[in-house]
Amino acid sequence: PTVLTVPEVALIILIGVTGSGKSSFARRLFRPTEIVSSDACRAMVADDENDQDATAAAFELVNTIVGLRLAAGRLTVVDATSVQPAARASLLAVAKAHDVLPIAVVLDLPMDDLLTRHAARTDRPFGADVVRRQHDQLRRGMKQRGGLSGEGFRGVHFLRSAAAVDAVTTVRRE
Ligand code: CTP
Ligand code: MG
């Protein structure tokens, strides 16, 4: 099982399609104030965490909060899909600007599990096509030269099943 060593200050970027379990993972292992959620930011600017028209504003807010937290030397976890290389690049730039270690945690569950979970959810109004599209984006991004390390991540952890996600523990380095 994965033991995630968490430095005193780091930017932990969760990567996974909708339903992969990012929010549950973050809630289990981190303090609420350490988690910067794109859905929470979407709700703050648009009153609706599913409002896709608010995506640009929501991510401006995510990046702003992340930058302010890293400037203050605070451990930060980003809860957003981050399946697109461009989304990761802007977060990596913020980490670099503050000389903070960027760590990727990839929740890469089998497609069948993702579709089953998605079908059971009532809080996500979009169809299964979104799950497939995000999954394709994730796979394509991972195949780029150098993968996530090549993008600039200094720690990369792959979790390939729900059981692997649930088994993760953290050790905090003071
Ligand atoms: N779930 C589960 N077992 C887990 C984790 C999650 O059955 N160990 C279920 C939850 O009950 C939830 C769904 O899977 O209904 C999605 O979990 P969530 O943590 O919300 O996934 P996210 O990746 O945060 O999804 P989104 O991107 O849509 O916010
Ligand atoms: Mg979530």
Q: Tens digits of per-residue pLDDT, 64-95? A: 999 999 999 999 999 999 999 999 999 999 99
- Its sign, for the CA torsion 144, 146, 150, 155, is positive
Q: pTM (2 decimals)?
A: 0.97
Per-residue confidence (pLDDT) for residue 92, from 0 to 100: 98
Three-state DSSP at 35 gives: strand
Residue 89, Cα to own-chain centre: how many angstroms?
A: 13
Per-residue confidence (pLDDT) for residue 173, from 0 to 100: 87
Closest CA to ligand 1's atom 29: 18
pLDDT tens for each residue of 23-76: 999 999 999 999 999 999 999 999 999 999 999 999 999 999 999 999 999 999
Q: Which of 13, 15, 17, 23 to probe ligand 1 with, by most ligand atoms within 8 A of CB? A: 23
CA distance 54 to 86: 17
Per-residue confidence (pLDDT) for residue 174, from 0 to 100: 75
CA distance 5 to 135: 27
Q: Which residues, 6+ apart, have CB-to-CB distance to 43 below 8 Å? A: 49
Distance 117 CA to ligand 1 centre (A): 7
Taking alpha carbons only, the member of 79, 69, 60, 58 closest to residue 100 is: 69
CA distance 166 to 146: 28
Whether residue 158 has pLDDT greater than 90: yes
46 lines ligand 1 (CB under 6 A): no
Q: Which of 17, 24, 35, 133 to probe ligand 1 with, by most ligand atoms within 8 A of CB? A: 24
CA distance 105 to 4: 9
Structure token pair of residue 28 = 């289990």
Percentage of residues in the chain having pLDDT higher than 70: 100
Element (H, E) at 106: strand 102-107
pLDDT tens for each residue of 118-150: 999 999 999 999 999 999 999 999 988 899 999
